[in-house]
Amino acid sequence: MPRYPQANGQAKSSNKIIINNLKRRLTTCKGKWAEELPWVLWSDRTTLKTSTGQTPYSLVYGTEAVLPTEVMILIARYGLLTNDVNNVELSHDKDIVDELTEMAKIRVNTMNMTAGKFADTWEGPYFIDVVMGRGTYRLSSMDGTQIQRAWNASHLKLYHV
């Protein structure tokens, strides 16, 4: 369940990602993991996650994270903002944060349960219609519709009805 990450390995997976990123950072500065940990956590929290379509930071705070250098150095993203425009943007972000959170929950909860590691490891049962060659068969489903492609015998298992 998405509400209990311990139950489906999400906490373990997240920790594994953080540890791997920390190991990559420590190749250049050995023994300084305590100094590097905040940067690794920041990068993890501001990276877009495919499961939710959002960054964890934006789901918590309702807006995207801005680096201090982006504010100090005038770039196109923030250099054209005035205080009034910024306040309008922030109020808009506050208005849609609940909607973004709900969309992320829906996206996680409606994942196809027949995909990934929970998928069936078999199809069928099928009938062998035609022996096409050495170890190659044409199959049909139980209702009689023929399967489009031929199957090799190494991918079939005997099933007794």
**Of residues 125 and 118, more confidently modeled:** 125
SS (H, E, C) 37-78: HHHHHHHHHCCCCCCCCCCHHHHHHCCCCCCHHHHHCCCHHH
Q: How many distinct structural domains can be found in the chain?
A: 3
pLDDT above 60 for 47: yes
pLDDT (0 to 100) of residue 1: 44
Residue 49: is it exposed, middle or buried by C-beta count within 10 angstroms (0-12/13-18/19+)? Answer: middle
61 and 9 co-located in one domain: no
68 and 27 co-located in one domain: no
Sign of the C-alpha dihedral, residues 19, 24, 29, 30?
positive
In a domain? residue 160: no
pLDDT (0 to 100) of residue 24: 86
82 and 115 co-located in one domain: yes
In a domain? residue 110: yes
114 and 139 co-located in one domain: no
pLDDT (0 to 100) of residue 75: 73
Domain range for 94 is 52-119
pLDDT digits (tens, 9 = 90+) for 77-86: 666 777 888 7
